[in-house]
Amino acid sequence: MSIDTKARYAESHEYAKIEGDLVVVGISDHAQAELGDIVFVELPRLGKELAKGQTFGTVESVKAASDLYMPLSGRVEAVNAALQGDPALVNKEPFLGGWMLKVKPVDLGELDALMDAKAYAASVGEA
Amino acid sequence: MPFIPNSDADRESMLAIVGKPDIASLFADIPAAKRFPALKLPLGISEMEVLDEIEAMSTRNTGARDASWFLGAGAYNHFIPSVVPAIASRGEFLTAYTPYQPEVSQGTLQVIFEYQSMAAALLGVAVVNASHYDVATALAEAILMACKLDEGRRKVLLPKDLNPEYEAVVRTYLSSFDVVIEKYTGAPEKAIVDTSTSCLVAGYPTFSGEIYGLSAAAKAVHDAGALLVVQTDPLLCAILESPGAQGADIVVAEGQCLGNSMNFGGPYLGMMGATEKLMRKMPGRIVGEAHDHEGRKGYVLTLTAREQHIRREKAVSNICSNQGLSMLQTCVYLSALGASGLKTVARLCWDKAHYAASLIEKIPGYSVKPSTFFKEFLVSTPLPAELIFEKLGKKHIVPGLPLSRCFPDRPGELLICITEMNGKAQIDDLVDSLKEAAK
């Protein structure tokens, strides 16, 4: 399992990673492995304001559909359109081509409440 | 010995756990006098006598075969070719259910897949589900689907000219949701759609029979970011542009008219389809065609992650079955008639209805209300429609639905339905009788 050391992680397995003025959101490698083959990703419309902990979409694998939760509050500035045609990108490269949202954060301080890579690895038993 | 698997010892131990001395003490809450009331039933009678009694009761019904039948209003008298019951009653199909282990029932899944495919072509949509109980529940589910798509939009626009039974079901389904129902009059493009609107519902045709084009409404609705839900007659879709082709997002239809008897009002067939964009939000089961590892064709339940056994409380609907037998009848009916046969049936209905309407229009005091209609049309009558119903009933003519049965404040309106089952002589007789009744 790979872990992006630059990202911070929610208990519900979403990651948040600062990229310039924005924060990139996706799900961890551990999460995609647990879900199995992902067949569909539903993402919010641009401009939507979402609070930390709110549902921003769903990820559907062949056997389950799971909600995706915001690891921080912010406005949706970009969604990964490539996932509509190729949702398996989330399986192949969750931290790169499999990103989901780019968010304009309300308060970057919210990231401090998330786990760092080491704590997250420990939480999923990979330490 | 009654087939009750609990032994005396089982009962003893269960009673000990709940702390009761015997079974009778479990019923202590029911007053003693009410426990075994004298039922005063007559003595038993023989099977022959029972059949006589039941048959005597059933002959008091007037069925569509016992009269000249011009009643529709949701239940339609169409011809059912013998091949439909012959195939639908085969032992292999003897289940009214989507099977619990669906993939072992390849025949059933294939029927559903073929039904879905034909229905999608007819309604002009990308995807059709395995069916709902009837069009009223399908309509309610379609509205819920639209509302759940965007929780910020809470307004549902219903046409005033909607079958009141469908509206009652919609209101029941929506009663526990935070949704506001508003009604509009006339053509659907005249309804006021705004950013709080979840969906606009349109009848194609409406309850009184009017056919409005849907494209203008579709554009207005989409410009406001809402959805267009259309309730249609699938037979009409065989000869006019389908609701899907005119831009409807969700289409529901009553499939009873396609190979199902009127069945005293049910079971019916709720058809529902949607655009590809909405397919993951659609309720109900969907069968897909797939291939196994050797490349052989097979059928599977697909997109199941939408459904309640996986999505739990977040599922769009709790429907987890379908109207299997009615759907099968419709599948066989559509296959037997084919596209051209279905067009012929629809054309016959259209032509006969317009022939009847042109004659009724000429009777002093009567006027046909809808300007464009298919097989059913509302007529203004010179005397209470209920009185016409009574007068013609004596001549074994059921002339239609007196609208006062749904709307007491509308006594002078009769909803007349003509199908391919009504011959010219029957229609002429109806016209003469309407004329006579007004004298």
* Long-range contact set of residues B83-90: C-beta below 8 Å, sequence gap at least 24: B83/B332, B83/B336, B84/B259, B84/B329, B84/B332, B84/B333, B84/B336, B85/B329, B87/B328, B87/B332, B88/B325, B88/B328, B88/B329, B88/B332
> What single-letter DSSP state applies at residue B177?
S
The tokens describing B27, both together, are 């019923």
Out of A40, A61, A64, closest to residue B280 by CB: A40
Residue B96 has pLDDT above 60, yes or no: no
Q: Looking at the predicted structure, is the pLDDT value of residue B416 above 90? A: yes
Q: How confident is the model at residue B143 (pLDDT cuts 50, 70, 90)?
A: very high
Average pLDDT over residues B393-397: 96
Can you spell out the DSSP letters for B44-60?
A: P--HHHHHHHHHHHHTT
Is residue B91 pLDDT above 90, yes or no? no
Confidence class for position B332, pLDDT limits 50, 70, 90 = very high
B interface test, pick of A60, A68, A69 with most B CB neighbours within 10 Å: A60
Over residues B405-431, mean pLDDT: 97
A46 touches chain B (CB under 8 A): no
The nearest alpha carbon in chain B to A38 belongs to B305
Q: Write down the pLDDT at residue B97.
A: 62
**Torsion over CA of B92, B93, B95 and B101, rounded to 10 degrees?**
70
B322 versus A49: which is more confidently predicted?
Answer: A49
| pLDDT computed for residue B88 by the predictor | 94
- Residues B419-435: tens digit of each pLDDT: 999 999 999 999 999 99
DSSP annotation of A66: E
CA distance B310 to chain A (A): 6
Q: Beta B127-128 vs B270-274: how paired, if at all?
A: antiparallel
Contacts of A67 in chain B (CB under 8 A): 314
- pLDDT value at residue B95: 67
What pLDDT does B307 receive?
A: 82
Which of B311, B312, B313, B316 is best to mutate for the A interface (most A CBs within 10 A)? B311
**Domains (ranges, CATH) in chain A?**
8-119 (2.40.50.100)
pLDDT at residue B99 greater than cutoff 70: no
Please name the residue of chain B whose CA is at the shortest distance from the CA of residue A62: B305
Give A63 or B251, the one with higher predicted confidence: B251
**pLDDT in the model for residue B403:** 97
What percent of chain B shows pLDDT beyond 70?
98
**Domains plus CATH for chain B?**
68-79+339-438 (3.90.1150.10), 83-333 (3.40.640.10)
Q: Extract the residue ranges of chain A whose pLDDT is less than 70.
A: 127
Q: What is the pLDDT of residue A63?
A: 73
